Amino acid sequence: EPPAFTMTNEEDSAGENSELSAKGEGEQAESVETESEETEEPQDPVKPLVAAETKRRRTNEDLEIPPPDKVSRPVIRKFPPSFPEWQNNFSKGTYDKLGIRIDNRLNLVDSIRVQLVNYVSEEDPESIGEIREVENGGLVASDYQYVYLQVKKSSARLGDKLLVFQNMGPLKQSTEFIEGGASSALTIEVQGIVSLTDIVQSQSSIPGYDLFRALVVKSVNPVGVGSQLRKGEIESVALNSQGDRSNVTAQLIGGPTSAKKQSFYPQSIAYLNRGSKDGLKPGQVLAIRSNRRSRFEGSIVKESFRPSGWLKIAKVTPHLATALVIKISEEISVGDYTGEASGVKSVSSSGTSIDDLSDQALDGFGSNSNEGSADEFGDLPTDDEGEMEEWDGLE
């Protein structure tokens, strides 16, 4: 059936709507009045008094500030006129010639250590094992790859870490001006560290050896099949000028690379033809002097007395040494000398024999020239007058 519609009068409907709206507004007003009555509570006259008393006590209380753990010093020794005078209370501290405090300046060079990834030896280092396979089937492994190796029985156990190295053969002579010592030199390459993780069964029994699965935890050169193993860590040397001064006369006979004309730079590894029997010890610092004959054939000058750089001894054998170049002022190449060179008597402009000069004066000999002067060592400290300190004060 169709819906039934009811007709209403417009006036009646309008009246009903107005009554409903008026009723709703009245109820809303009553609710607002009720809420306002509930929120309005009688104020406690004690609360303002307590707050005022607490504030007064905090204001009048004597606070003791503890002294600082470290006495602060101004960064600048002399403040400009725009700064208040009371800020310049401290006059202590070490300042350079520009007035900048340097006593707490961070020296990054002293904290740098260079790993000795190559060195020279007179005999093959003793080995306790050998790498036989790489787990992925290749010939070399890198960090966090597995290798299989054999180790002499009772020489190692699970969890031990072994040093991986390889004998690269005799040192190749790259210049004819080497005065001896290079013929017995063997170059040793350090490849990394492996950790023994598992004991494995071999296809055939290897008398006197155990077979292990090992993880390469650190590689500084590719870890290859056939490399040898021994106990030990990768040696390192500090890249700074601290160390005993040595005047031992030696000659640079080569380095890790086999280039015919080999040059050396800071952090380069260099081999010397003198060792512990000649007085060299790890940690000693030697001056480097250029050999002109190895650079220019037919030169009438044999060597220079002006230092062209500095190196630090890292490892020694009875007749050989491995060193790290720490500073240079000009090119350094195979055939250059260290120490006092040949020690030939030479007279300076002042008439003083070089052999009679002190170590400090000898280091600065020829520094008046622009080339290879001490000013090129920009990171060396200076005193308050801005002059270069002597060698013994470089530490």
For 2-42, the DSSP string reads PPP-----HHHHHHHHHHHHHHHHHHHHHHHHHHHHHH--P
pLDDT band at 70 (very low <50, low <70, confident <90, very high): confident
Q: Angle at Cα 179 formed by Cα 175 and Cα 182, nearest 5°? A: 70
Confidence (pLDDT) at 386: 39
Name which of 20-34, 61-75, 161-175 the model is least confident about. Answer: 20-34
Q: What are the pLDDT digits (tens) for 250-285?
A: 989 888 886 566 789 899 999 999 999 999 999 999
What per-residue confidence (pLDDT) applies to 394?
41
Q: Poorest-confidence range of 152-161, 183-192, 225-234, 289-298?
A: 289-298
pLDDT in tens, 293-305: 777 777 777 667 7
Return the DSSP state at 391.
G
Mean pLDDT of 69-76: 73
CA distance 120 to 124: 10
Confidence class of residue 291 from pLDDT cuts 50, 70 and 90?
Answer: confident
Q: What average pLDDT score do residues 308-319 get? A: 93
Q: For residue 154, how far is the Cα from the chain centroid?
A: 37
Higher pLDDT, 315 or 67: 315
pLDDT per position as a tens digit, 194-240: 999 999 988 877 888 999 999 999 999 999 999 999 999 999 998 88
What pLDDT is recorded for position 389?
A: 40
Domain ranges for the chain, please list them: 116-236, 238-366
Please give the C-alpha separations between residue 357 and each of 168, 310, 347, 351, 365, in angstroms, as whole numbers: 42, 19, 10, 11, 9
Mean pLDDT of the chain: 74
Give the range among 52-56, 113-117, 123-127 with minimum mean pLDDT: 52-56
Question: Does position 72 have pLDDT exceeding 90, yes or no?
Answer: no
Q: CATH number of the domain at 116-236, please?
A: 2.40.30
Q: Minimal CA–CA distance to 338: which of 367, 372, 313, 373?
A: 313
Please list the residues that pair with 147 across neighbouring strands. 134, 214
Residue 43 has pLDDT above 60, yes or no: no
Comparing 349 with 46, the larger pLDDT belongs to 46
**With 90 as the cut, is the pLDDT of residue 107 above it?**
no
Mean pLDDT of 367-394: 38
DSSP letter string over 39-70?
H--PPPTHHHHHHHHHHHHHHHS-PPPPPPSS
Question: 238-366 falls under which CATH superfamily?
Answer: Rod shape-determining protein MreC, domain 1 (2.40.10.340)
Answer whether residue 14 shows pLDDT above 60. no
Within the chain, where are the H helices?
10-39, 46-60, 108-111, 359-363
In the three-class reduction of DSSP (H, G, I as helix; E, B as strand; rest coil), residue 150 is classed as strand
Dihedral, 219, 322, 286, 375 alpha carbons, nearest 10: -30
DSSP letters, 201-230, are: --SS--TTEEEEEEEEEEESS-EETT-EEE
Beta bridge partners of 218: 193
Question: Does residue 186 have a pLDDT over 80?
Answer: yes
- The pLDDT of residue 202 is 83
pLDDT of residue 172: 81
Tell me the per-residue pLDDT of 315-365, one tens digit each, with 9 for 90 and over.
999 999 999 999 998 889 888 889 865 543 333 333 333 334 344 444 443
